[in-house]
Amino acid sequence: MNRRDFLLALGGLGAGATAASAGAALLGRRDVAAGADRAAPTIRLEAREVTWELAPGRTVKAMAYNGRIPGPEIRVHEGERVRVVLANSLSEPTTIHWHGVDVPNAMDGVPGVTQRPVAPGATFAYEFDARPAGTRWYHTHFDEQRQMDLGLAAPLIIEPAEKEPVGYDREVTLVLDDWATGMGKPVPPTDAGTAGGRGKAGGMMSGMMRRDSGMDGMMGGRGMGGMMGGRGMGGMMGRDSEPAHDVMTINGKAYPATEPLRVKKGERVRLRILNASAEHTHVLRLAGHRLTVTHTDGNPLDAGVEVDAVPIAPAERYDVVVTANHPGAWFLHCTQPGHVEAGERMLMVYEGHARATPPAPERGITGLTLWEYGMGRGRAVLPVATGDTRNVVLTLGGGMMGSEVWTINGKQYPDTEPIRCRKGDPLRITLRNNSMEAHPMHLHGQSFRVLSASGVRYEHPLVKDVVDVEAHMGSAVVEAVAHNPGDWLFHCHKPMHMMGGMIALVKVG
């Protein structure tokens, strides 16, 4: 067997993974030179139903790739040909979307748009060049509201061809996820998104809702939506379609089942954090340490930005570097109300401190420096535009009185107006949010620069593929270079909102 020709044997992946990878299954391909040859090794993924133990005594029926949650981490080099054969052993159709990867349109995994759903018992071969480098991921794009929530998501790491301007000794991938098990107390929603994570309601309400102002308790910690006819009313009016998330996991496990991260003093650990949650924004913090943000949705910043905590909307990724300079035992945890109790914490233990008692996680965010888009300077990594700027304005609406109708310019997909542009055009999308919830909007097939958000223009736009548009008249302007021909979804990454209609089609011709 060719050294490059490896298979993802069912469940056998973990064998080679050490504690250093914190449960992430590395495919052990470091001996393959970047782009040395373009023969595509075959990666086999099988989607099937499993029973999964989130924590002792909390076993759920779930869906997994190769029997694990999150699915196996795929690691490839930039430019390398990737071939993944998906075998569908579920009793329902499925597909895979390669989130953040500039795949050819036919490989994008959107049922009814780029491919037919993969039927139960059938297989489908995905093949594409791994581009651009960075923390990407893959997940089901069929009935995501169920299938993704049940576990069909995993990291895809594309290692850059050129050395990165980031110093670190080793790396660990952390996948955050929310679960609706029906066994626990539902966690308060995080409708105000990343703004909410920073203690604001977002948009025009910014600054009116400090979490430390005492209003938090009054409104059940759910932002203004609770008072203003968003979800709060919905609850009262019997909106029961919303799954009640009651368990929060890191790499498929809830504390105390989360795998501790063991470090040596002086080490620099790169964390690739990915929020695979359906509904919840997380705010990650590591007690006793600061986090240096180096990448946004996989794309490098000019320089690292040191913060105390990082709010992460659904589908967003942040790479952060931790310098292990404060020996002891500490919790890496989420500061959102109820998330620690629901399991979202893991230990970081220094060598020689195995018996240390970690301080209890602090929930407050008062006085902390929290990451926001304006803090980073993005690097110019997008292709150069050749055409004229195509300007579109999309107004996000819906969710009124607890409904699950979500709209773009007043229409529900597939009735939303398609956005047409020519290959090479800069595509500038202005987003206005008339609804009571933040929407993490994601573009398939190409990344964009975030030019401004809620009225603040950024001098050095970040490169991302998800932008969290603040609630309550919040806004954002993003600009992609439409370099990838085909029909691409632009949608809210909360599956409930997407399936409720918040999708527009971008047609690049």
Using CB under 6 A, list all residues that contact ligand C2O: 97, 99, 139, 141, 315, 442, 444, 489, 491, 493
Residue (of 435, 503, 441) closest to 473 by Cα position: 435
The residue (of 72 and 402) whose beta carbon lies closer to Cu ion is: 402
The residue (of 84 and 431) whose beta carbon lies closer to Cu ion is: 431
Q: Does 432 bind Cu ion (CB under 5 A)?
A: no
Residue 444 touches which of Cu ion, ligand C2O, none (Cβ within 5-8 Å per kind): ligand C2O
- Which residues does 70 contact at the CB level (< 8 Å), separation at least 6? 151, 153, 154, 155, 175, 177, 251, 252, 276
Would you give the end-to-end CA distance of the chain in angstroms?
Answer: 42
Residues making up the chain, counted from first to last: 509
Q: Binder to Cu ion among 497, 499, 500, 505 (CB under 5 A)?
A: 497
What's the closest the beta carbon of residue 142 comes to ligand C2O, in angstroms?
11
- Spell out, one character per residue from 473 to 492, where the chain touches Cu ion: x when CB under 5 A holds, - when not: -------------------x
What's the closest the beta carbon of residue 268 comes to Cu ion, in angstroms?
36
Contact 460, 377 (CB under 8 A): yes
The residue (of 188 and 440) whose beta carbon lies closer to ligand C2O is: 440
Single-letter amino acid, residue 43: I
Token pair of 160 as six digits = 């850059």
What's the closest the beta carbon of residue 202 comes to ligand C2O, in angstroms?
22
Mapped onto helix, strand or coil, the DSSP state of residue 138 is: strand
How many residues contact Cu ion, by CB under 5 A?
A: 4
The residue (of 99 and 200) whose beta carbon lies closer to ligand C2O is: 99
Q: Phi and psi (nearest 5°) for 215?
A: -80, -20
Residue 280 touches which of Cu ion, ligand C2O, none (Cβ within 5-8 Å per kind): none
What's the closest the beta carbon of residue 437 comes to ligand C2O, in angstroms?
18
What's the closest the beta carbon of residue 60 comes to ligand C2O, in angstroms?
22
What proportions of the chain, in percent to the nearest 5, are helix, strand and coil? 10, 40, 50
- Spell out, one character per residue from 436 to 465, where the chain touches Cu ion: x when CB under 5 A holds, - when not: ---x--------------------------
The Cα 226–Cα 236 span in angstroms is 10
Contact 260, 348 (CB under 8 A): yes
Residue 272 touches which of Cu ion, ligand C2O, none (Cβ within 5-8 Å per kind): none
Stretch that binds Cu ion, among 128-136, 146-154, 216-224, 495-503 (CB under 5 A): 495-503
For the stretch 451-459, contacts whose Cβ atoms lie closer than 8 Å and that sit 24 or more positions apart, written own/partner, are: 451/477, 451/478, 451/479, 452/476, 452/477, 453/373, 453/374, 453/477, 454/195, 454/202, 454/203, 454/206, 456/374, 458/373, 458/374, 459/377
What's the closest the beta carbon of residue 359 comes to ligand C2O, in angstroms?
35
Q: Which residues bind Cu ion (CB under 5 A)?
A: 439, 492, 494, 497
